Structure 1
């Protein structure tokens, strides 16, 4: 998840239960200043890890801030490319594209 989504995670339904089901790996975004309220800051600090190997120790419960270079592209752009039959294969693994097609996850809004 990009840092920009983390800032808005409290708008998600039952966001505070998310770590019961998975880890969050947060990718940095360019020019993004994390402006977090106190509740979100405390939640992050409580669950944040700096050792990536801890992600393998359990199936859920941690927040890890990655230092990788992320592609500056949104899921909306990828969906639009998909609708227009443009080549999104460089952005999405083939297995994921196959799953999207098989389960009809992206339906053309037009």
Structure 2
């Protein structure tokens, strides 16, 4: 008996906010995933884009998914010393879950540039791609991506559970007007108004306790 599909959703989660969380819940439920793992990306310590260390970002994701059925954290990319290519991560995941369909969840902007990814031609051998998109939005793709869609796109979720890998599925997701940048700026400016509406309560408490993003 083949296991039902699981999903992986990467992001810097710096910090994780309700937009991330609600979208993840929506995707997990719509696709009927057994579990959806939130996978914080490795960010080099010297990179200007990183505002919290790996341990802090990991802790915030842990707090955010606490008590939410189907949502879990996967720390493999955080535990590496260097950034890793998606293909390497997927090979690791496939080795751990040889009998389970795997969905790799990403945004429309990632699909537009997908043919510039390292060893992108091999990625669909290891997983399905689930593309989160605004309802009714049609991406402008180059010929390579259009050909890929022609060969691999599925308009139903059944193949995501029946096959281990190889399909591309577009999932409409509600767009939340929340960004980590906006939250970091608000905290840095001492403006905590509405932050309790944008962040999971435990994450907001953790940020205040450790005085992050000051």
Matches within 5 A, 1:39-78: 39-71=144-176, 77=180
SS in 2 for 1:40: helix
Which residue in 2 is equivalent to 1:20?
A: 125
* TM-score, normalised via structure 1 length: 0.60
CA separation in 2, counterparts of 1:52 and 1:72? 27
User: How many residues align structurally?
Assistant: 84
Give the Cα separation in 1 of the matches to 2:110 and 2:119: 15
Stretches of structure 1 lacking an aligned partner (at least 5 in a row): 91-110
CA deviation profile, 1:12-71 (whole Å, cap 9, x unmatched): 101111100001111114896522111110011110001111100012100001123244
Question: Going by fraction, where is strand more abundant, 1 or 2?
Answer: 2
Structure 1 contact 23–55 (Cα < 8 Å) conserved: yes
RMSD: 2.9
Matched, 1:11 2:116: yes
Provide the TM-score with structure 2 as the length reference: 0.33
Is the counterpart of residue 34 in structure 1 residue 139 in structure 2?
yes
Gaps of 5+ in 2: 1-105, 188-194, 201-214
- Structure 1 residue runs of 4+, over 2 Å off? 29-33, 70-74, 86-90
**Rg larger in structure:** 2
- In 1, Cα distance between equivalents of 2:115 and 2:178: 22
